[in-house]
A and B are shown apart, each in its own frame.
Chain A
Amino acid sequence: QQQVKQSPQSLIVQKGGIPIINCAYENTAFDYFPWYQQFPGKGPALLIAIRPDVSEKKEGRFTISFNKSAKQFSLHIMDSQPGDSATYFCAASANYGGSQGNLIFGKGTKLSVKP
């Protein structure tokens, strides 16, 4: 049973476009939602993360929108650049005993930004 569903599987946008990647979760115990960026041959790198007490968080060109009632969250990349071409993963985790547990990842979205 996949606990975090991510879509689309792949995405192509033109430079300057705003790609949007969506994720949905099932476990209401999840309370930490990070997005990771991964380049080929590299480990995932944290981009931005959000907790359910806010509906939106911005860091530079990256924005997370969070809808707690729908159990959905999304990543928006403003003014996308060819260097943003990578695979993006949403993830979720729950807090156990005062600290976050392991991350549950979506299947990833391969983003290609055309010049």
Chain B
Amino acid sequence: DTGVSQDPRHKITKRGQNVTFRCDPISEHNRLYWYRQTLGQGPEFLTYFQNEAQLEKSRLLSDRFSAERPKGSFSTLEIQRTEQGDSAMYLCASSFIPSDTQYFGPGTRLTVL
């Protein structure tokens, strides 16, 4: 399978713990996006990278959230001191400029108890 992959698929954690998610984009895709989707809502943009540079961050991305894409390939999204409101599906997407199409991964379902 050469699509976008995300790991883990599911994560259950206790409030206050730190969690880290990984996204592997489609090979050679230079853009990588993170979105968050809560139940019954559409995905909401969090941040995106072009190669290794983080070009934009949403106001939704509080100081507890940090994302990296160290070598312009895979990316990690870390949430520190998780809160119950962080429970959501975290989606990763990638694209190859100049194509407009964003390809989404299966997501990581986070549950904060």
Contact = CB atoms under 8 A, between A and B. Distances in A.
Nearest to B95: A100
Contacts of A107: 40-42
A41 B106 CA distance: 7
Given A44-B91, A44-B104, A45-B104, A102 B56 contact: yes
B106 A105 contact: no
Interface stretch (B14-22, B43-51, B63-71, B80-88): B43-51
Contacts of B95: 100
Nearest to B103: A46
Given A102-B33, A102-B56, A43 B40 contact: no
Nearest to B44: A105
A43 B42 contact: no
**Does more than half of chain A's interface fall in helix, strand or loop, or is it mixed?**
strand
Nearest to B6: A43
A44 B106 CA distance: 8
A18 to B, nearest CB: 23
B106 A43 contact: yes
Given A102-B56, A105-B44, A108-B40, A46 B91 contact: no
Contact of A89 (B4, B31, B43, B103): B43
Contacts of B56: 101-102
Nearest to B9: A41
Contacts of B42: 4, 6, 89, 91, 105-108
A69 interface: no
Given A32-B100, A99-B31, 12 more contacts: A6-B42, A42-B107, A44-B91, A46-B102, A89-B42, A100-B95, A100-B100, A102-B33, A103-B33, A103-B35, A104-B45, A107-B40
